[in-house]
């Protein structure tokens, strides 16, 4: 019996319904670059793929799903677990935007952003040794929302934006007892960061390679921390567009616009196989519309072979857009992955790309696919030498889902223009029990709700401040007149 048949038999009627659209071609047979297969899956956000390239694990906003991608032309849902923690006093968990996988352990975290109503927050742990039957094995509750996470050596690394130190928090999920084992903040390293407006130093994302934790600290840049002993993390180095002095001197009246503007923040980071090259992506828009450049955030490639002397090598520009504002067509960088000498990237409505980064000083675009009226891509992940997987977060007029693409160079036939599309948005104050809440604007009180799973994606540096009390917000602000 084939692996797919075994998984189907195990899942039986427990698997959630799914819809699948396939393209009857293999990577070797296709002459044009286009999707191999598409699985409609509402609420799709982050997607990660196992080492065998056979199963994709999906954060579905209300829970998780597993998808068989062993035949890239026919992706099939194996199982779904949602809602998460429905029996918890403050459940269910909402805004499940991130999942991470290590061998047979999967973690799901949430809520991605702060909420104005009390809701359960934390890390849910699953045994996925049988992807068709994920089994929850533990839960660790936190006092902070979790936008992103990483999992290595049984330790879950969590973003913990509390508006004060905005630390990275380390939780051991490997045993029967799940417990916090350490935390680290740039404020602990240099107390001057405490004087920087909290939204400019949001702990947005994390990546771990070997003994090094890489933290995307928004406008505060990219930080490297030695976590060979997670209980005693040690500072290594940091770099980015701004110094602490630059951000200390920035009036809070300007901070909101600056946090979202190009040249951009440290939104997502990853390193290549030997950690000699680091990619730092910015999620940023054209805030200064008086200039002639409507560009959005791209990806910087850095030589970090000597972590004490990082050197910027090149810049991967985002797809062009005629309207680079947050109300226009989003082509800013989102999540990505290195594998070997290739970099797989996602650009929201700008689609997905493959770059050859064998010479990181001169990255070469190999393939680009976009369909802005059909897909807004959250991530792109290597699966096998024949295929890669991408997550479409959907919109107000189309469903989210999982796409598979040929892992090769190619050209999209009759590519559409990006000029006529706009990002679907929705603004509302959170009610007592919405299905999803996302922060859309850089204010302390306004959030957005979109029950369809659409709405404005992303985090924004000021999402960490949403829903907090006025007194707490005032305590976090730097006094400009001091």
Residue 419 phi/psi, 5° resolution?
-75, -25
Q: What's the pLDDT score for residue 423?
A: 55
C-alpha 392/C-alpha 401 separation (Å) is 5
Cβ neighbours of 184 (radius 10 Å): 25
C-alpha 166/C-alpha 199 separation (Å) is 9
pLDDT of 157 higher than 60 = yes
pLDDT of 467 higher than 70 = no
Token duo for residue 8: 């189907």
C-alpha 317/C-alpha 343 separation (Å) is 14
List, for residues 336-348, the tens digit of each pLDDT value: 999 999 999 999 9
Q: Which of 22, 20, 1, 21 shows the shortest CA–CA distance to 10?
A: 1
Residue ranges per domain, the chain?
3-476
Q: What's the pLDDT score for residue 352?
A: 98
Task: Give me the percent of the chain exceeding a pLDDT of 70.
Answer: 80
List, for residues 234-272, the tens digit of each pLDDT value: 999 999 999 999 999 899 889 989 899 988 899 999 999
Beta strand ranges found along 330-392 (DSSP E): 336-339, 342-346, 352-356, 364-369, 377-382, 387-392
List, for residues 402-448, the tens digit of each pLDDT value: 999 999 999 999 999 886 555 554 322 222 223 333 333 222 222 33
List, for residues 344-399, the tens digit of each pLDDT value: 999 999 999 999 999 999 999 999 999 999 999 999 999 999 999 999 999 989 99
The stretch 172-189 carries a mean pLDDT of 97
Q: Which top CATH class is 3-476?
A: mainly beta
Q: Which of 273, 200, 265, 208 shows the shortest CA–CA distance to 236?
A: 208
């Amino acid at each position: 019996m084939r692996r797919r048949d075994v998984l189907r038999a195990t899942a039986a009627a427990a698997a959630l319904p799914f819809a699948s659209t396939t393209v009857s071609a293999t990577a070797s047979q296709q002459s044009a670059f286009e999707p191999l297969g598409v699985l409609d899956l509402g609420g799709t956000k982050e997607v990660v793929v196992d080492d065998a390239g056979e199963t994709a694990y999906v954060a579905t906003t209300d829970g998780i799903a597993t998808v068989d991608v062993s035949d890239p032309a026919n992706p099939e849902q194996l199982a779904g677990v949602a809602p998460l923690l429905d029996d918890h006093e403050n459940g269910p968990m909402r805004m499940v935007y991130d999942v991470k996988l290590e061998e047979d352990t999967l973690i799901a975290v949430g809520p991605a952003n702060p909420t104005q109503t009390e809701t359960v927050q934390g890390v849910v742990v699953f045994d996925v040794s049988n992807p068709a039957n994920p089994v929850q094995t533990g839960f660790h509750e936190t006092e902070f929302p979790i936008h992103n996470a990483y999992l290595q050596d049984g330790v879950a690394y969590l973003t913990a934006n509390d508006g004060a130190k905005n630390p990275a928090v380390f939780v051991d999920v490997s045993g029967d007892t799940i417990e916090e084992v350490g935390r680290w903040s740039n404020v602990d390293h240099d107390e001057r960061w405490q004087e920087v407006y909290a939204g400019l130093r949001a702990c947005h994302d994390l990546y771990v390679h070997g003994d090094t934790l890489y933290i995307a600290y928004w406008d505060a840049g990219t930080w490297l921390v030695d976590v060979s002993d997670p209980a005693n993390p040690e500072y290594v180095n940091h770099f980015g567009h701004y110094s602490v002095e630059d951000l200390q001197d920035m009036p809070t009246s300007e901070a909101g616009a600056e946090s979202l503007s190009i040249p951009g923040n440290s939104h997502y980071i990853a390193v290549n196989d030997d950690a000699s090259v680091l990619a730092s992506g910015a999620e940023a828009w054209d805030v200064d519309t008086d200039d002639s450049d409507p560009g959005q955030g791209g990806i910087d490639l850095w030589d970090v072979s000597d972590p004490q002397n990082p050197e910027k090598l090149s810049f991967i520009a985002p797809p062009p857009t005629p309207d680079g504002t947050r109300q226009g067509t989003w082509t800013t960088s989102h999540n990505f992955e290195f594998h070997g000498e290739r970099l797989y990237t996602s650009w929201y409505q700008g689609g997905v790309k493959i770059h050859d980064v064998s010479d990181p000083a001169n990255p070469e675009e190999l393939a680009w696919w976009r369909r802005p009226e059909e897909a807004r891509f959250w991530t792109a992940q290597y699966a096998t030498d024949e295929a890669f997987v991408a997550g479409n977060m959907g919109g107000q007029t189309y469903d989210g889902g999982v796409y598979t693409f040929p892992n090769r160079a190619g050209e999209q036939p009759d590519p559409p223009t990006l000029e006529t599309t706009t990002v679907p948005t929705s603004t509302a104050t959170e009610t007592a029990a919405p299905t999803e809440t996302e922060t859309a604007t850089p204010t302390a009180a306004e959030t957005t709700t979109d029950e369809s799973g659409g709405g404005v994606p992303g985090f924004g540096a000021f999402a960490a401040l949403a829903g907090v009390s006025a007194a707490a917000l005032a305590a976090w602000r730097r006094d400009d007149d001091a």
